[in-house]
Amino acid sequence: MSLNQKDIELVERIIYKNADDIATSICRSFERLEERIDAMESRLSRRVGEVEDRMESSRQDISDSIGNVKEEMRDVLRIWDEVGQLN
């Protein structure tokens, strides 16, 4: 079944009449998409901040542990020096 000229013109009129509605619908879809993207960016930013905070906390814990080990090693060396001087 082929379309005749009247059918084509009818389809064109329907499309032209509904063009504003279609454009509005597309616009709203893009707005919703933009809102979702903004929400995802916000969540990602918050999660990245949490990871950075954890990394900083871990770095500080490691630094403190290294400082404690250094202090204990100095104590051990000092004791060895004292014991060596007694002999």
Note the pLDDT tens digit of each residue in 7-55. Answer: 888 888 888 888 888 888 989 999 999 999 999 999 999 999 999 999 9
pTM of the complete model: 0.55
How high is the pLDDT of residue 72?
A: 95
Q: Is the pLDDT of residue 1 over 70?
A: no
The two tokens of residue 65 are 């542990």
11: CB partners within 8 A, 6+ apart: 3
Distance (Å, rounded) from C-alpha 82 to C-alpha 71? 17
